Structure 1
Amino acid sequence: MSEGRRAPERPQHRPDRHPDQRPDRRLDRPSGPARRITPLAWVSMALTFVLVVVTLGGYAYYRSIDGDIDRLPPVDAGPSRPPETGALNVLLVGSDSREGDNKKYGAKSQGLGERTDTIMVLHISPDRDKATMISFPRDTMVMIPPCRSHSGAMLAGGLRQINSAFNDGGINCTVRTLESLTNIKINHIVKVDFTGFKGIVDALGGIEICLPKAVNDPKAKLVLSAGKHVVKGEQALGYVRTRYALGDGSDLGRIQRQQVFLTKVLDKITDGGLLTDPVKLNAFLRAGAKAVSPDTELTLDRMVEIARSVQGLTAKELKGITVPVEAYPADKNRVQLKQPDARNFFEAVRSDVNVTPPSAAATTPKVANERVRVQVLNGTTELGKAGQVADELADQGFAVVQVGNAAPVATTSIRYAKKDADNGAAYGDAVAARLSKDKRTPVAGKVAPVNPKPYPTKVTPLPDGPIVQLVIGADWPGVRVASAIPGSLKDKVVDSTTNPCL
């Protein structure tokens, strides 16, 4: 598949990491296939419990469900944290603890604590109309900040595998690492283990999978013929655990398979009759409550609040994506973030911010982006700002025809010619709708540009109608992203339309 148009490189929010640093392996434990098991329980539960908890009609019932949940301490990631944007970001980690009912997955590992091979962030847009499941491969080499260990001792920061943050420093070190890496604030955390995963899938009556070839993987306890199967319990767990028996044997392939599985879980919840079957729904909620360990601030009331805000979200709005990575030169079994792709991706997620709803008084008809010709003028002191904004608008379909400079101004404005007073506002509103945080009211009147230059628009033929002039001021709010996933990564997306047999 083609890589698509690469998003323009944007300024970084933090200085680059030190490229001459080598991995500090003092804190890494020995790795091997027998220790590398990836459950998916927490992924499905974290999203689906939030989606369905509000659908039943008994608050006392919810309280009884809440009593079954084993909670984690609140997030403690230090005083310097990224700002809130209105989005909801939930860190999901899978625990491979071998205690209790999980003993059969590795009795020799009892008493050695817990590890994770699965790290995901569920990003729900501020408007609660889109959900993006972001996976971080466990073998990604990243800078881990100083953290406290499970015993309370201070661990030195350094370049290590991303999953060592959880293995050595626990959930708070994982939060600190991800926030430092992405500058995205984590609002809540959820953890689930092996046994919980099986209970959730069983309560759903199983999930249909598709195998391109027969699988015989003793380590994952999975033996199935090629073709479609409905898996429950151990088979479902084996399907999301197996690594070397399917695909190219990489963790990246397993992540993609897990993301497909998650879309099937959500699809069965929202479209499979679960919400209208009290018996099945009760079994699902009971199983989930015993499986998840959310933080103490993700209370029942908070879940209900979230559930109400996302009640229209379905499997079609859930997108899965793995952060862009490439081979790590010092070790072929490791990967590193691919730049500038990863930097642009994290910026797109950060730019998914609140938008003020249109005024109730607005009566102008909506105009499609492709019908709007735009002239972008830089009224700031930042060099190249007009070109950057033009690229962002063009990526969203606008017919940008010209870029240039204007006299420095404090306030961003959207203008159209007085002769277009009859419909200029409607075209200006299309541009205003893509500005982050607030909307500017288009007004009649033009600013004299300085040295305007043609912009190579991809919209052909050029539309008729008024030209809208966007003057970027010192208060520039930014262009609201159409998706948390940049166009350059669209071919990497997993969603409800992805063929599970591939």
Structure 2
Amino acid sequence: MPGRRRRVSVLGWVGIGLTFVLVAVSLGGYAYYRYIDGGIIREPIEPGASRPPDTGALNVLLVGSDSRAGDNKKYGPKEVGERTDTIMLLHISPNRDKATMISFPRDSMVMIPECRSRTGTALPGGLRQINSAFNDGGINCTIRTLESLTNIKINHFVKVDFTGFKGIIDAIGGIEICLPKAVNDPKAKLVLGPGKHVVNGEQALGYVRTRYALGDGSDLSRIQRQQVFLTKVLEAVTNGGLLTNPVKLNAFLEAATAAVTVDSGLTLDRMLDIAKSVKGLTAKELKGITVPTEPYPPDKNRVQFSEPAARDFFESVRNDVEVTPAPTPGKAAAVKIENKQVRVQVLNGTGERGKAVQVADQLAAQGFVITEVGNAAVTDTTAIRYAKKDTADGPGYADAVAARLSKEKKTPVAGKVRPVNTQPYKSQAGVKAPDGPIVQLVIGKDWPGVRVVSAIPDSLKDKVVDSNTNPCL
């Protein structure tokens, strides 16, 4: 069907509801899903030699477009090509217990790498608006751009169109929104009074599209509204009775599959595997955040990533909490050593100025008691040590530090832990040190970084949108 093959919509992220809704469904079994799966359009993700490594997390790119082709022409004058009107990255932690929706403002000025155009010709890299990557080079250029900016590997993508988005919301039975004031926006085709409303697909599309009638008129304000709306969609899917109503569920799945385009790797079996892994994940665990930005000096209508805030944020996403291995059957679980019980001596063996203090700050933020910082002989290999006299308890305390490394765990070894060129860690001066062994961390040139507990740094916590965010503001 020609309409089904149209390019993507403004809220491609809603398509991920297809994955979430498979979590607890028992409607017709595998044969039914095979039928549903036959309605999904797929496109391949181009392989690349320099793509970021997998970390165990699941990263799904969710995009929309400003295309006015076909049935979408009533939403504005037809434009040449299309740009991603909405760019979001759904990051699900390796443990599958937390989900972070990262929004990239479409007006961001970024370095776009070399890509192939939609016709196959070479596109030179350069500084351009982020949504032009999709306009010029399609989904694969968008993926390449985001991976080059974040160093986060994108595992899958989902796309939806205007018309498909409306069908999904109608199939759910509408979504409750709250307006702080009356809205009359002819461009978004939204006319509603103040207060709470249950909106159908057409009204919901207007609500997430309107820019100047709500908020401060900025794309950043609209992004926050879209993030709040997403939490309401997930609440409706997971808690609104959809999963236990065969008629509504069938309508939702048929609307979702008709609306989305996904990558070739997101097969039915892969969807079911993902669904099992995120079982129990609800809207309460979803947090929305926008990449830190600041005004772009040459053009007040554009923004650029704020540094180092954006760089630190992407590092936090890459290094979020690791999968905790299940205990071996029949083997007694080891006594858990809490971070606050561990005294750590941090030594810089990279030759990079200030590295010990930087790492000590990151470990202290996670509760470790840092006793000293200093320098060691330059080394290629990161090491974790405990004193030979502590062979009974030392390994457990050292493992607590090893567990915070963002890549493979370093095996702690017994050795010398008190070199002469150290000094007290000033930020924790006066903190009462716990009992127990001292663990020495020597940072080598292969330093993998400290794995963080949350994908969202403390500095950005006040910008989080979640299920507790007041939709009326």
Aligned twin of 1:157: 125
Aligned twin of 1:435: 405
Matched, 1:494 2:465: yes
Deviation at 1:198, TM superposition (A): 1.2
- What CA distance in whole angstroms lies between the structure 2 residues aligned with 1:103 and 1:473? 58
Picking from 308, 311, 330, the partner of 2:276 is 308
Aligned twin of 1:93: 63
- What CA distance in whole angstroms lies between the structure 1 residues aligned with 2:88 and 2:131? 11
Aligned residue type for 1:76: E
Alignment CA distance shift 1:495-1:417 (3 Å): farther
Deviation at 1:119, TM superposition (A): 0.9
- What CA distance in whole angstroms lies between the structure 2 residues aligned with 1:146 and 1:427? 47
Aligned twin of 1:53: 22
Aligned twin of 2:5: none
Deviation at 1:102, TM superposition (A): 2.1
Q: Is the 8 A contact 2:382 2:410 kept in 1?
A: no
- What CA distance in whole angstroms lies between the structure 1 residues aligned with 2:143 and 2:448? 28
- What CA distance in whole angstroms lies between the structure 1 residues aligned with 2:467 and 2:200? 20
**1:314-369 per-position Cα deviation (integer Å, ceiling 9, x unaligned):** 21221111111100110110001111111111222222375562764463333433
Q: Is the 8 A contact 2:397 2:439 kept in 1?
A: no
Aligned twin of 1:11: none
Equivalent residues, number: 460
Aligned twin of 2:86: 118
Deviation at 1:282, TM superposition (A): 1.6
Deviation at 1:50, TM superposition (A): 1.4
Aligned twin of 2:306: 338
The alignment partner of 2:197 has SS state of: strand
**1:368-422 per-position Cα deviation (integer Å, ceiling 9, x unaligned):** 333433222334544433222211112222222321234566452242684694x
- What CA distance in whole angstroms lies between the structure 2 residues aligned with 1:102 and 1:433? 50
- What CA distance in whole angstroms lies between the structure 2 residues aligned with 1:362 and 1:384? 41
Aligned twin of 2:218: 250
**1:190-227 per-position Cα deviation (integer Å, ceiling 9, x unaligned):** 11011111111122222121212111111111111222
- What CA distance in whole angstroms lies between the structure 2 residues aligned with 1:406 and 1:254? 50
Matched, 1:395 2:370: no
**1:467-490 per-position Cα deviation (integer Å, ceiling 9, x unaligned):** 531322545443211122222211
Mapping 1:221-232, distance limit 5 Å = 221-232=189-200
Matched, 1:65 2:33: no
Picking from 138, 158, 181, the partner of 1:213 is 181
Alignment CA distance shift 1:411-1:344 (3 Å): closer
- What CA distance in whole angstroms lies between the structure 1 residues aligned with 2:327 and 2:201? 51
- What CA distance in whole angstroms lies between the structure 2 residues aligned with 1:400 and 1:211? 49
**1:82-122 per-position Cα deviation (integer Å, ceiling 9, x unaligned):** 2222222211111233333323223x417x44332111111
Unaligned 5+ segments in structure 1 are 1-36
- What CA distance in whole angstroms lies between the structure 2 residues aligned with 1:455 and 1:465? 17
Aligned twin of 1:15: none
Mapping 1:6-45, distance limit 5 Å = 39-40=10-11, 42-45=12-15
- What CA distance in whole angstroms lies between the structure 2 residues aligned with 1:387 and 1:68? 55
- What CA distance in whole angstroms lies between the structure 2 residues aligned with 1:460 and 1:197? 57
Q: What TM-score does the superposition give when structure 2 sets the normalisation length?
A: 0.89
Deviation at 1:135, TM superposition (A): 0.8
Matched, 1:464 2:434: yes
Alignment CA distance shift 1:441-1:363 (3 Å): farther
The alignment partner of 2:418 has SS state of: coil
Aligned twin of 2:247: 279
Aligned twin of 2:50: 80
Aligned twin of 1:166: 134
Alignment identity in percent?
70
Aligned residue type for 1:52: V
Q: What TM-score does the superposition give when structure 1 sets the normalisation length?
A: 0.84
Q: Is the 8 A contact 2:95 2:324 kept in 1?
A: no
Deviation at 1:461, TM superposition (A): 5.0
Aligned twin of 1:447: 417
User: For the aligned residues, what is the CA RMSD?
Assistant: 2.6
Deviation at 1:78, TM superposition (A): 4.1
- What CA distance in whole angstroms lies between the structure 2 residues aligned with 1:478 and 1:362? 31
Matched, 1:233 2:233: no
| Higher mean C-alpha displacement, 261-270 vs 403-412 | 403-412
| Higher mean C-alpha displacement, 281-290 vs 429-438 | 429-438
Deviation at 1:64, TM superposition (A): 0.7
**1:216-266 per-position Cα deviation (integer Å, ceiling 9, x unaligned):** 111111111222222121111111000001111000000011011111111
| Higher mean C-alpha displacement, 307-316 vs 437-446 | 437-446
Aligned twin of 2:386: 415
Aligned twin of 1:322: 290
- What CA distance in whole angstroms lies between the structure 1 residues aligned with 2:220 and 2:458? 20
Q: Is the 8 A contact 1:77 1:175 kept in 2?
A: no
Q: Is the 8 A contact 1:87 1:353 kept in 2?
A: no
- What CA distance in whole angstroms lies between the structure 2 residues aligned with 1:128 and 1:413? 29
